[in-house]
Structure 1
Amino acid sequence: MRIAVTGSIATDHLMVFPGRFTEQLIAGSLDKVSLSFLVEELEIRRGGVAANIAFGLGRLGLTPFLVGAVGTDFADYQLWLKENGVDTDSVHVSESQHTARFVCTTDADQNQIGSFYAGAMRQARTIDLRPVHERSGGLDLVVVSPNDPEAMVRHTRECVALGLPFAADPSQQLAFMGREEIRALLDHPAYLFTNAYESVLVQEKTGWTEQQLLGRVGVWVTTRGADGVHIERAGLRPVDVPAVPPSGPLEPTGAGDAFRAGFLAATAWGLGLERAAQLGSALATTVLETTGTQPESLDGEKLLARVRSTYGDEAAGELASPMAGTG
């Protein structure tokens, strides 16, 4: 299965604040906030939603086509992605702007305050998907993940025009895009990915009810953190999959991207929605316990063990063959 992943490619600057943000906020004075948090840890990591998803797919044995815009500072990151199975030949390199940056601080309660500098990502709106489709020998799925809003709309319309199945994954861009832009992203995608908050926000922003949205999407996948995954399809019984319990300290950045990678990999292997959500959940928890969004190593046997301990031998057995050699 040939998958193109469009969206952000960025560098993450991740910091840890040992206290609680809420203890620094004073009721009645939130109209004028000027705060500084003394952090104890700083990690500079490779990130960006599209790059994270593509990386996860590559580590699971697929060869995804990454589509996005970066600066000339991308060389080392590009080498890393190529070494991990990602095709980067369709990435646009800007001569004038830096690769996007995400700066995020996480507190003791796993609350986060982040800022995102788009930089070269704004030039993603100039990328044409047709050459990617032709070079790949024919794409089977395009993931439209958070990106420059004009790029997201353009790629969605290109998928429709080319007859390509696509997954709509607007995520954090939902808060910044207007009604017509979001409606354009929901032009009958094969999949819609949201978290619990976004599942409500997408209804509010589009003005469409849950049933109206289900009439426009093939499969609606909603991640609910520790409460697992909820999957809906129009006229069919929902699928609910519990989360894989973590066993160590948590750093939530990138867990949702890892879920999508696992889900899409299992889908590419021809497995059903339940197995896809189970693998996605196992990979998400692995990343949840890792600082950064792209683990330096991925032990396929440990990943299968997590699947087995949470979902049983049958689930692990069905995933064992396609996951052989993962690492």
Structure 2
Amino acid sequence: MRIAVTGSIATDHLMAFPGRFVDQLLPDQLEHVSLSFLVDTLQVRRGGVAANIAFGLGGLGLDPLLVGAVGPDFAEYEVWLKEHGVDTGSVYVSSDHQTARFMCMTDQDTNQIAAFYAGAMAEAGRVDLRAVHDRAPLDLVLVSPNDPGAMVRHTEQARDLDIDFAADPSQQLARLTGAEVRSLVTGARWLFTNEYESALLRERAGWSRQEVLDRVGTWVTTLGAQGVRIDRMGAPAVTVGAVPDVRAEDPTGVGDAFRSGFLAAVSWGLKLESAAQLGCAMSALALVTVGSQAYEVRPERLLATVRAVYGEHAAGLLEAKLGRSA
């Protein structure tokens, strides 16, 4: 399966705050918040949702095609992605803006406060999926957080080209209108959210949970330490627990790692439970590192995790596929 991953490509500035954000918030002063946090560390890493997911897919041997917009400062990052199995031939390079910046603080409870500067991402709508599809025929288009106009355009183009698409609006739900959310979700083969985003998506779209399921093939909701729930119309929910007892270094990019594992397993023709198990194992790899692309995809390590957490049968279903990705 050839997957085009559309969305943000960014440089991450990751900071660690040694306290708890909630201890700094005064309930009777929330209308007048003015806070500054003294952080202990700053790490500058490669990131962006689309690039993170493509990195994970590349590590699993899928040759993903990255679609997004960057600035002239992308050269070194591009080499890194190519070295990790990502096709960057459809990335648009702006002559006017630098690559997007993600600035994030994480407290000791792994809560996060973040800001995102779009930069070149604002030009992502200039990428034409028709040209991408002509260059490398696509089987699936993942529409992840990006310039809102680009997200809508790429979704519409996937429909026009009769290519299956996956909707992953996540962080951009705060910026999307109700009409845009409904457009992005309707007809998606896959819908990805976390638990909070699932509620926000329903509020933005003005739909009930049932009305969302009426419009998508499969709805995948990540639940943090509780794992993942997978819902489909007319079928019982599939639930898979997360990998337990993982030392959390940095939650940035953990959901992206899950998506790469899940979509890789789906592309191999495996069942939803196996896809969720591989997704959770990939999440655990990302969680113990600082930076969304700091982990190494090692099939033997993934299989050991799956075997220990989900059992020998689960590992056996994945073993042949993961062996080919080595």
TM-score range, shorter chain: over 0.9
CA distance in 2, matches of 1:203, 1:267: 26
Question: CA separation in 2, counterparts of 1:31 and 1:188?
Answer: 40
1:131 shift after superposition:
1.0
8 Å CA contact 1:246, 1:289 repeated in 2: no
Amino acid at match of 1:215: D
- Asked if 2 retains the 8 angstrom alpha-carbon contact of 1:298 and 1:326, the reply is no
Q: How many residues align?
A: 326
Contact preservation (8 Å) 1:253, 1:292: yes
2:319 maps to 1:320: yes
Aligned to 1:107: 107
- 2:90 counterpart SS class: coil
Deviations along 1:200-235, one digit per CA (max 9) or x if unpaired, are 111111111111111110000000011111001101
The residue type paired with residue 42 of structure 2 is: L
Counterpart of 1:150, as a letter, is: G
User: Is the Cα contact below 8 Å between 1:246 and 1:285 reproduced in 2?
Assistant: no
Q: Which moved more, 1:90-99 or 1:179-188?
A: 179-188
Per the TM alignment, residue 187 of structure 1 is displaced from its structure 2 partner at its CA by 2.3
Identity score, percent: 60
Could you say which residue in structure 1 is the equivalent of 2:184? Answer: 185
CA contact (8 A) 2:142 2:167 kept: yes
Aligned partner of residue 323 in structure 1, secondary structure: helix
After TM superposition, give the deviation of residue 246 of structure 1 in Å. 3.8
- Cα contact 2:289–2:295 (8 A) shared by 1: no
1:20 correspondence with 2:20: yes
The letter for the 2-side match of 1:33 is: V
Q: Give 1:297 shift.
A: 2.3
Equivalent residue of 2:316, what SS?
A: helix
Kindly indicate whether the alpha-carbon contact (under 8 Å) linking 1:5 and 1:143 is maintained by their aligned counterparts in 2. yes
What residue is the counterpart of 1:235 in the other structure? 234
Match of 1:9 in 2: 9
| Structure 2 residue 68 is matched with structure 1 residue 68 | yes
Which position in structure 1 is the counterpart of 2:219? 220
Look up the equivalent residue of 1:176 and give its one-letter code: R
Contact between 1:125 and 1:148, CA under 8 Å: does it hold in 2? yes
TM-score normalised per structure 2 = 0.98
Q: Which shows bigger deviation, 317-326 or 141-150?
A: 317-326
Alpha-carbon separation, structure 1, partners of 2:50 and 2:10: 9
**Correspondence for 1:157:** 156
3-state SS, counterpart of residue 237 of structure 1 = strand
The answer for the alignment partner of 1:143 in structure 2 is 142
Instruction: Verify the 8 A CA contact 2:220 2:229 in the aligned structure 1.
Output: yes
Deviant stretches of 4+, over 4 Å: none
2:283 maps to amino acid: A
Matched, 1:294 2:289: no
Question: Partners in 2 of 1:50 and 1:96 — Cα distance?
Answer: 21
CA distance in 2: counterparts of 1:266 and 1:297, whole angstroms: 18
Name the TM-score, length of structure 1 as normaliser: 0.98
- Matched to 2:284, the amino acid is T
Out of 149-158 and 242-251, give the one that drifted further. Answer: 242-251
SS of the aligned residue for 1:270 comes to coil
- For 1:57, give the aligned amino acid: L
> What displacement does 1:37 show?
1.3
Q: Is the 8 A contact 1:15 1:104 kept in 2?
A: yes
Whole-Å separation in 2 of the counterparts to 1:246 and 1:87: 35
What do the CA deviations read for 1:123-181 (whole angstroms, capped 9, x no partner)?
00111001111111x21100000000000000000011010000000001111111101
* CA distance in structure 2 between the partners assigned to 1:181 and 1:128 by the alignment: 19
Instruction: Tell me what 2:268 maps to.
Output: 269
Gaps of at least 5 residues in structure 2 are none
Q: Secondary structure at the match of 1:75?
A: helix
SS of 2:132's equivalent in the other structure is: helix
Q: Which amino acid aligns with 1:197?
A: Y
After alignment, is 28-37 or 11-20 more displaced? 28-37
Displacement after TM superposition at 1:198 (Å): 1.0
TM superposition shift of 1:299: 2.2
Q: 2:207: which partner in 1?
A: 208
Distance, in Å, in 1 between the alignment partners of 2:210 and 2:303 is: 35
